[in-house]
A and B are shown apart, each in its own frame.
Chain A
Amino acid sequence: MPDGSDSEYLAFVDGRIAGLRRAAYLLCGDSHAADDIVQETLTKLYTRWSRMGHVENLDAYVNTVLVRVFLDERRRGWWRVALLDWLPERAAAPQAPVPVEEQSFVRTALMALAPRQRAVVVLRFLCDQPVKDVAQYLGVSEGTVKSQTSLALDRLRQLFDAATVQDRR
């Protein structure tokens, strides 16, 4: 593995981790799980780094991998293999107190969506990705993204309304 390629990888990764963690956190609602997703996403990226020459839009590629890792629940236990001794370090790290806002009805409602609907909503409205790109990340048609968006927003509206009614009581 030539050093040049490694430094290109490091240069690419540098500055992108915060954005990837943010997206992963919005998708899964748990900061440890979000870090797991980012760790696995970057590992997959590095594994394929030497063959990345033909990929025109690396950010789109990385987003695709991130979403795929998030959705691929069947293998979630499997990619934990990659964590190894990284896990206990995390356990030893100081635990930030969970802000009250973390239990907010907004996050609760978001987490109540099925994973694919949640991915569509997070990517479109919280990560500001166009429909076309979201369709590519999820491996579905643009029509599917739009219909999933509509279903997800209907559901969110119901949940937000219910939460508001409860607050007033």
Chain B
Amino acid sequence: MTEETRDMTDNDHAVRILRTLPDQPPAPSTVDVARTMTEGRRRRRMRRWAAGTATAAVTVVAAAGATVLMRETPPAPAPPVAGPSTKATPSPKAGPVVPVPTGCQVTKLPTSGVTKALTTAGDPSGRYHAGRVYPDGASVRTVIWDNGKLRPVPAMPGLDASFEDINSSGVAVGYSFDDAGEQAYVLQGTRVTRLAGGRAAAAAINDAGVIVGTLGESRSAGFPARWSSPSATPVKLPMPSGFTGGDAVAVGEDGTVVGRIYRPDTDGTGYLWLADGTARLMPMPTVDGAEATAFWPESISGDGVFGRAVRDDGEARTFASYRYRISTGKYEPLPAELGPPAIGATNGRVLGTTNDNAAVMIAGTEVVKLPKYQGLKEYVVTSLSADGKVASGYSTDTTPEEAVANRPLTWTCR
């Protein structure tokens, strides 16, 4: 039947027009094969290092069901790469001691028998998680888990729908694509409704119900925006002159908003809209003795904004992960470079993924690897509860059976 369908659509008028499209990239190739090998070797070294650590320091204890209990023995060594993260030794004076997570367990969230599924968000209490399931032969749909159980709620309409955040009352926000582009939605109780403001994307909601995101097209042609409640009309957040667009990325429990704003043809940098109504550009951290080119915020927890410093020095682009303290205006380097997002908790723990795509929890200078689910190696993290004990994320390995073996997971630690 496949061939028949194909022949029919091949003669489609729209397909014929589509095929007039020039398909050669207009600029000469900058693909550097030698660099794929250099970078590939570096990633292999990271994997071997990670595997060695696991064998030496981890005891696996068989446990019931889908849960695997692992105990880690920190500290993990700093990643063996040249670059700013190797020098990232936080000052011993940097705040109270952060409790190192122990007894971490990984659990797959239930999916009603659907193999491919993932998480996209979690709430500050650790009770609610949002995600997507990909049933065979049916459309992908958004789902909510309540205390680890699938909750019967309607799915978000649209394509590529995603709940980007959920609060402690189970109110979730996100966006999907329709004919007009991105459209923001909010789930309250058993109803999914559009946020006001036309084309928009919602990125985050706090426990007070304040929603932030982008009006227009996120990550390229939009404006940072704030909805004071799920039923409110959005307001554009002010930007300094010279900046032409941006996205609000996260909102703190006190109403502080952090985002990334752009000058024309730049990658943008971090900006803070504080709860007192003032706003300011985030300063540039110093990476290896030189000022960073930009700071890209990814999450907020209390006084801390977490994200990456970017430095273009004319020859190289390097990244380093930081916690920025809003009260002091100072950056504290994290002991490992984390892939986005880095997510903080009020007890100082930070969740992220390392260069080898392992899920890790950082406590002070310790980098604790979270247990793998059924031997899968690559993860994306999506949430960390405020107490730093419940994390969520999903696997992204390519296996012989699956192009992308997504499994929705939570990790619980003491």
- Seen from chain A, the residues whose Cβ lies within 8 Å of a Cβ on chain B are 1, 6, 9-10, 13, 17-18, 21-22, 25-26, 31-32, 34-35, 38-39, 42-47, 49, 54-55, 61, 64-65, 68, 72-75, 77-78, 80-90, 93-99, 101-102, 104, 106-107, 110, 112, 114-117, 121, 124-126, 130-132, 136-144, 146-149, 151, 153, 155-158, 160
Contacts and interface: CB of A to CB of B under 8 A. Distances in A.
Contacts of A88: 312, 314-315
Contact of A13 (B17, B33, B318): B33
Given A10-B33, A88-B314, 16 more contacts: A17-B31, A34-B25, A45-B40, A80-B317, A86-B35, A99-B22, A115-B160, A116-B159, A124-B9, A125-B15, A126-B18, A131-B5, A139-B403, A143-B137, A144-B139, A144-B140
Contact of A39 (B10, B23, B35): B35
B29 A54 contact: no
Contact of B312 (A18, A65, A74, A87): A87
Given A13-B33, A75-B339, A85-B316, A93 B159 contact: no
* Chain B interface size range: 35 or more
Contacts of B136: 141
Interface string B329-373: 000000001011000000000000001000000000000000000
**A-B pairs with the 10 shortest C-beta distances?**
A46-B40, A31-B25, A114-B177, A42-B36, A25-B25, A47-B40, A31-B27, A90-B30, A85-B316, A156-B14
B59 interface: no
Contacts of B312: 87-88
B316 to A, nearest CB: 4
B23 to A, nearest CB: 5
A39 B43 contact: no
Given A139-B116, A149-B9, A46 B31 contact: no
Contacts of B27: 31-32, 35, 93, 95-96
A87 B26 contact: no
Q: Is the interface of A mostly helix, strand, loop or mixed?
A: helix
Nearest to B182: A114
Contact of A46 (B21, B36, B116, B181): B36
A132 B2 CA distance: 8
7 contacts: A22-B25, A25-B25, A32-B30, A45-B40, A81-B317, A81-B337, A160-B17
A54 to B, nearest CB: 6
A79 B184 CA distance: 27
A16 B189 CA distance: 51
A83 B315 CA distance: 11
Contacts of B21: 26, 104, 106-107, 110, 126
Contacts of B308: 77
B35 A68 contact: no
Contacts of A75: 339-340, 380
A43 B40 CA distance: 5
Given A46-B36, A99-B22, A147 B139 contact: yes
A96 B18 contact: no
B376 to A, nearest CB: 14
B44 A47 contact: yes
B37 interface: yes
Contact of B400 (A54, A73, A114, A115): A54
Contacts of B23: 22, 25-26, 126
A88 B396 CA distance: 30
